[in-house]
Structure 1
Amino acid sequence: MKLTDTQNKIFEYVIYCISFSLFLFFFGHTLDYGRTYDDFALVDRFTKSPGDAKLISSFFYAKFHFYPVYFLTHELDNFFTFLLNFNGIEILNSKIAKFTNIFLHVTNSFLVFLLIKKIFKVENNLSSNIVIFLSSLIFLFHPITSQIIFNITTRNESLALFFGLLTFIYCISNIHNKRIINYFFISLLFFLSLCSKLMTIYLAGLIPLTIFLLNFHQMNLRENFKKNFDIFILLCVTFIVYYYLRTVFTEKNSLSFYGNFNDLLFYFLTSLKFYLIGLFLPYEHIYVYATNYDLGLSIIIFIIFLIYTTLAFYLFLKKKDPILLISVFWITASLTLPVMFGMIEKGFPLISNLAERYQYSSVVSVSLMLAWIFSKFFNHLYKKTLILSFYGLILISSIFVLYDRSKVYINNTVFMTLTDENSPKNVFRYSFGVEMRDAILKNDMTTYRFNLYQMYQLDTSFDEAILEFLRNYIYEKNEKGIKFFEEEFEKNFKDSPPARFKLARFYTLYEDYNKAEDQIKKIFEKYEEIRSQFDTPSRRVTFLDPPIDDLYFELGKISFYREDYEKALENFKTANVINPLHATALYNAAITLKKLGLNEEATKFFKDAIKINPFLRETTSNLIAETN
């Protein structure tokens, strides 16, 4: 049945409303979920970070990285919350934020519907529209999207795909209607997509390749390349402009690659396994999802994927059908970047870092594949019945698993109490940590100590557990306990500068300045040992964890607390010489100069610190006023 243009628009509005209503019916309860641990941890880490170059660079990074979409990510939620509360409707900001996430996700599902219509080149055919709508529901309810929907802090993935899909749709439309205004919209939308998440750079290759494949059998090769060339150049230029602005307004980013081919191969196969299982068989509880790292299974899944890829090429070359090949390239493109740039992690974080964040845009390929299956097997009643039954089973299973995973985001305590025994150790460790935190808040020291012992027994070389025991014994003034765990720390982390630095700051916090200084001196000794081994005229060793400037900054704090202001000033200045963007070093040097009675010099240092880090403005403005 053919639809008129008006009927087609009405149909699109109707399916959007249906999608939104369906999602709210199953997941409207999640609007009452509070903020998760991740939300609080992000805010806590940001507000408690030292106001040095790291903080200001992250501030500029956040502002620029999201600034074009900053209203959508922050201010829109705050505005609606204020508006409703002002009019007497009491509502939490977290509820508005989660509603915004759901709204974006449903809108992305609708854009998937529109994109697949463009790819299949069907506009006003009712049966084809219904088939594509059914395939878009898989994107809507796919379990892998749980983190993006229910965790407020991951909204940038939704926004990246939102602008990316709009870019895709405009590019395909532009092929048939080349207008200057379309080029402007394409460039703007792709820029906004990159601002939301740099990972969408793969669209710069995937979009022209998709258009090329769709036209491959309809026009000669030269004409096909010519038809795509302008889009490809436009997307590349947009990326170059974005990346230039990003390097100007944000911190310098060093990309990390795997050190050797064997590592790359191992992590690629392991990641591919999780990636494909997450896309096509995401029907396990999230807390047992990361238990299997068997390389043999990874290779088997890789072989299956190669067979699927071979089939896709066969259908493209022999049957002139590019759809499955487009889905192959979509999966490959979205997987390659996180693997290449070392974003795949061992252990439990693999789930959140790969399967639930980087895979969000990949779920489009599942809907594309399902739409292809529907289009091929809907020509006979028995095939239609079989496919619809299988589809119904998949959809119901997806809703059930997504519902189960949504419970993770009620709060993390609920999630951690459901962790399976086969989960990696850090899940248990985190679970005990949550219980310890809650016990401290309730002043229940018995429960606190019980969970502390449980966490320590999981891994007696876990630095946080040892430091927690030290904290407990310092509180109890138990000298034997303190001595025992100091020896344990030394035994386990003798050659670990990051761990020693953590211990040094721990001692500073508890005002044991001699021990704090001793730890930093041992780090310098270790660094000198490494430098003597590897430093050559043609190669320089750079120490990043902890960096040299932070070591001098910590020494400056220790000297300041000892009231040795001359030594403190020397260390703060040294930290700033090593890292001219270390605003906190300048800030503390200014405070030290004021202690020494050098008010004019202190004012200059305060002003320099503010130029580097505007976060210090409110604090230093009062201090500057006092020095004048």
Structure 2
Amino acid sequence: MKLTNSQNKIFEYCIYLIAFGLFIFFFKHTLDYGRTYDDDALLDQFTRSPGDAKLISSFLYAKFHFYPVYFLTHELDNFLTFLFNFSGIEILNTKIAKFTNIFLHVTNSFLVYLFIKKILRIESNLRDNILIFLSSLIFLFHPITSQIIFNITTRNESLALFFGLLTFIYCLNNAYDKKFINYLFIALLFFLSLCSKLMTIYLAGLIPLTIFLLNFHQINLKENFKKNFDIFILLCVTFFVYYYLRSVFTEKNDIFFYDSFNDLLFYFFTSSKFYLIGLFYPFEHIYVYATNYDLNLSFILFTLFIIYSIFATYLFFNKKDPILLISVFWIIASLTLPVIFGMVDKGFPLISNLAERYQYSSVVAISIIFFWILKNLSNHLYKKTLALSFYCLILFSCIFILYDRSKVYIDNYTFMTETDEKSPKNVHRYSFSVPMRNAVKNNDWTAYKFNLYQFYQLNTKFDEVILEFLRYFIHEENEVGIKFFEDEFEKQFKDKPYGIFKLARFYVFNEEYQKAENEIKKIFKQYDKIKKQLEASGKKVTFLDPPIDDLYFELGKINFYQKNYDKALENFKTANVINPLHATALYNAAITLKKLGLNKEATQLYKDAIEINPFLRETANNLIANTNE
């Protein structure tokens, strides 16, 4: 059946509303989810950091990313929340933010539909439009998208694909009908995509390659290259403009790969396995991480992908069918950077080199594959039945897994408690540790004590449980209890610097500054002893857990709280000398200088700290202004 232009538009509006309605039907409950426990813990750690200094993780993240669009959308969430509340409609900001994430994701699913239509040049055929829509639902409900949808803080992946798909669509339009206005849209949209996530640099190569494959059998080679050249140059120029602007606002990030070829090979295959299995078999990827570094399985999966690529190449040259080959290049292009990051030894600043959210844009390829299956296996009744049955099985499995996965984002407390009831894994400690923190927050010491004793029964030698008992007995001012658990901690961790450091930070939190200083000094003594032994045999040692700069930084905090500003300044500066990227140490040195009345010197250190960590600008600028007064 052929559709007129107006019917085609109505069909598009309808399928968008259907997709949105389906997603809300299955996942409207997620709008009531709050922020995860991890989000709250990060916020708490930030507010407690000395001098309102930002976390080191924020510093590293600021160096690596430059995405003003991301901040803009979050400010839009805040503005909408204000408007609703101002109008008398009470609504949480988290509900607005989660709705925005869902809205973006459904819109991306619709853009996948439009993108597949464009590469196939399908406009008026109702049957093909329905098949493309069904294929886009695979993207909509693919389990790998869970973090992007339900976790507020990972919206940049949605934004990057949103602007990236729009860039792709305008490039396809321009390839068939060159207009000046298209070039402006392409440059702007690609720039915004890069601002949202630098990983979309792959589009600069993938877009011209896709257009080249689509025209390969229609026009000669020279004309084909010529058809793509202007778009390729425009995308490259846009990238270089973006990268220059990014370099102004962010610092250079040096990353180092494993220097052993065997290590590089190992992490290449295991990273490839991690991302490929997430696309084609997300159940294993999301629920079972034990096989993450199984090299044999990685080889098998990589070999299967190579076989699929060969099959797609065969179809391209012998059947003049470019669709599967486009899906192959989409997967390769979109996963190149994440796989490379899997081979990074140090310097990669994000939380995890292997993270499923990096696959978000890759899921488009799965929709392309499903369209090819539905299109090519629906000519005969038995093939059509087989294809649709397979499709329904996959779609329902995706919805089930995604629904189950959504429970992670209620909050960690609820999720971990429910998981404890069903899982033999050692996640049950969250059932007590999280309620303890909530009890402290609510000043409910009866609930705290109950969960504390349950927690203690799980593992009497666990460092966290000993510190929790110390917290309780300090609150109760029970000297006998304090002495008992201090001795217990000493017995378990006297030869483990990381444990001693944890105890020192615990004392700082509880304002036991002299005890904290004594614990830090114990670590220095241990480190000096180890260093002398190794240097005597001609070896060098680097202390990482805890690192030396963090020890001096912690000492500086202790001295600052004791109002021993001269000593605090010395320790902060020592931390920065050992690690020149320790912006928080430099920042706190500036605060200390201000306490000493050295305003001019403090202003200079504030500026130096901002140079290292741009995120400090929002707090440091106010302090500079106050200092200059």
The TM-score with structure 2 as length reference comes to 0.84
Structure-to-structure mapping, 1:302-313, within 5 angstroms:
302-313=302-313
Task: Quickly say closer, same or farther: Cα 1:543–1:617, change in 2 above 3 A.
Answer: farther
Q: What is the Cα deviation at residue 382 of structure 1?
A: 3.0
In the other structure, the counterpart of 1:281 is 281
Q: How many residues align?
A: 606
Distance in structure 2 (CA, Å) of the matches to 1:256 and 1:464: 34
Asked if structure 1 preserves the Cα contact closer than 8 Å seen for 2:420 and 2:427, the reply is no
Asked if structure 1 preserves the Cα contact closer than 8 Å seen for 2:53 and 2:584, the reply is yes
Distance in structure 2 (CA, Å) of the matches to 1:543 and 1:246: 34
Structure-to-structure mapping, 1:367-446, within 5 angstroms:
367-419=367-419, 427-428=427-428, 430-440=430-440, 441=442, 442-443=444-445, 444-446=447-449
Task: Quickly say closer, same or farther: Cα 1:38–1:557, change in 2 above 3 A.
Answer: closer
Asked if structure 1 preserves the Cα contact closer than 8 Å seen for 2:555 and 2:571, the reply is yes
Task: Quickly say closer, same or farther: Cα 1:570–1:58, change in 2 above 3 A.
Answer: closer
In the other structure, the counterpart of 1:89 is 89
Q: What is the Cα deviation at residue 204 of structure 1?
A: 2.1
Q: Secondary structure at the match of 2:328?
A: helix
In the other structure, the counterpart of 1:98 is 98
In the other structure, the counterpart of 2:120 is 120
Q: Secondary structure at the match of 1:483?
A: helix
Distance in structure 2 (CA, Å) of the matches to 1:311 and 1:56: 44
Residue 602 (structure 2) pairs with residue 605 (structure 1): yes
Asked if structure 2 preserves the Cα contact closer than 8 Å seen for 1:568 and 1:592, the reply is yes
Unaligned runs of 5+ in 1: none
Percent of paired sites with the same residue: 65
Greater CA drift, 297-306 or 19-28: 297-306
Asked if structure 2 preserves the Cα contact closer than 8 Å seen for 1:60 and 1:250, the reply is no
Asked if structure 2 preserves the Cα contact closer than 8 Å seen for 1:122 and 1:128, the reply is yes
The partner residue of 2:486 within 474, 482, 503 is: 482
Provide, for residues 402-428 of structure 1, a one-character-per-residue CA deviation record: whole Å limited to 9, x for no partner.
222222222222321243799796745
State the AA in 2 paired with 1:380.
H
Task: Quickly say closer, same or farther: Cα 1:60–1:13, change in 2 above 3 A.
Answer: same
Q: Secondary structure at the match of 1:317?
A: helix
Provide, for residues 83-124 of structure 1, a one-character-per-residue CA deviation record: whole Å limited to 9, x for no partner.
111111111111111111111011000000011111112122
Distance in structure 1 (CA, Å) of the matches to 2:387 and 2:567: 77
State the AA in 2 paired with 1:112.
V
The partner residue of 2:619 within 606, 611, 615 is: 615
Q: Secondary structure at the match of 1:359?
A: helix
Task: Quickly say closer, same or farther: Cα 1:561–1:434, change in 2 above 3 A.
Answer: closer
Q: What is the Cα deviation at residue 351 of structure 1?
A: 12
Unaligned runs of 5+ in 2: 611-616
State the AA in 2 paired with 1:525.
D
Distance in structure 2 (CA, Å) of the matches to 1:337 and 1:424: 36
In the other structure, the counterpart of 2:261 is 261
Q: Secondary structure at the match of 2:257?
A: coil
Residue 239 (structure 2) pairs with residue 239 (structure 1): yes
In the other structure, the counterpart of 1:66 is 67
Asked if structure 2 preserves the Cα contact closer than 8 Å seen for 1:256 and 1:342, the reply is no
In the other structure, the counterpart of 1:249 is 249
State the AA in 1 paired with 2:181.
I
Q: What is the root-mean-square deviation of aligned Cα atoms in Å?
A: 3.8
The partner residue of 1:521 within 516, 521, 524 is: 524
Asked if structure 1 preserves the Cα contact closer than 8 Å seen for 2:413 and 2:430, the reply is no
Distance in structure 1 (CA, Å) of the matches to 2:5 and 2:12: 11
Task: Quickly say closer, same or farther: Cα 1:182–1:6, change in 2 above 3 A.
Answer: same
Task: Quickly say closer, same or farther: Cα 1:61–1:351, change in 2 above 3 A.
Answer: closer
Provide, for residues 247-290 of structure 1, a one-character-per-residue CA deviation record: whole Å limited to 9, x for no partner.
3212332324234333333333333334333222334694x332
Asked if structure 1 preserves the Cα contact closer than 8 Å seen for 2:202 and 2:333, the reply is yes
Provide, for residues 171-211 of structure 1, a one-character-per-residue CA deviation record: whole Å limited to 9, x for no partner.
22221223333222222212211211122222222222222
State the AA in 1 paired with 2:260.
N
Asked if structure 2 preserves the Cα contact closer than 8 Å seen for 1:202 and 1:334, the reply is yes
Task: Quickly say closer, same or farther: Cα 1:446–1:565, change in 2 above 3 A.
Answer: closer
Distance in structure 2 (CA, Å) of the matches to 1:125 and 1:419: 47
Q: Secondary structure at the match of 1:378?
A: coil
Structure-to-structure mapping, 1:224-235, within 5 angstroms:
224-235=224-235
Distance in structure 2 (CA, Å) of the matches to 1:68 and 1:396: 34
Q: What is the Cα deviation at residue 155 of structure 1?
A: 0.9
Task: Quickly say closer, same or farther: Cα 1:567–1:310, change in 2 above 3 A.
Answer: same
Q: What is the Cα deviation at residue 369 of structure 1?
A: 0.3
The partner residue of 1:449 within 435, 449, 452 is: 452
Asked if structure 2 preserves the Cα contact closer than 8 Å seen for 1:501 and 1:523, the reply is no
Residue 175 (structure 2) pairs with residue 165 (structure 1): no
